[in-house]
Amino acid sequence: MRAIWLSRHSPLPKQVLDLRAKGIEIIAIIPSVDTIEDILEIVKKHDAKYIIPVLPLSMIAKLLEKSQEYGFTILFAEMETIHNGVCSSSCGFNPITDTIYWDKHIRFKGYKVLKDIKFIFEDF
């Protein structure tokens, strides 16, 4: 089985290891693609069963709408903020599971299957 990683950044080692442990090969697409049609072509080309998107929420919602038709599942990489600010030697940074993003120390917790996205609007 294959998973398509759609993001401007590479997956963390733990993100790759968790997929490999389930027999899933990860294919990283960096930089990300521009349209849903581009993504669907990549899914077909690689016969991917999973997509891990780091994309605008509206694009993820459109992918979710197409997931049954194209036979893939969307996985959400759950991340946890450990702390804000500079990471010193005592911050517990682990390069296997952690990253620094906009001055935040963030840790990968695991994958979740995305089942639904619901937008509720009101007039502004």
Q: Which two tokens stand for residue 118?
A: 């619901």
Q: Would you give per-residue pLDDT tens digits along the chain (124 residues)?
A: 999 999 988 999 999 999 999 999 999 887 768 899 999 999 999 999 999 999 999 999 999 999 999 999 999 999 999 988 777 667 888 999 999 888 889 999 999 999 999 999 999 9
Q: What's the one-letter identity of residue 4?
A: I
Structural domains of the chain in order of their starting residue, each with its CATH number: 2-79+109-113 (3.40.50.2300)
Number of Cβ within 10 Å of residue 100's Cβ equals 13
In terms of pTM, does the model score above 0.85?
Answer: yes
Q: Which two tokens stand for residue 110?
A: 């695991």
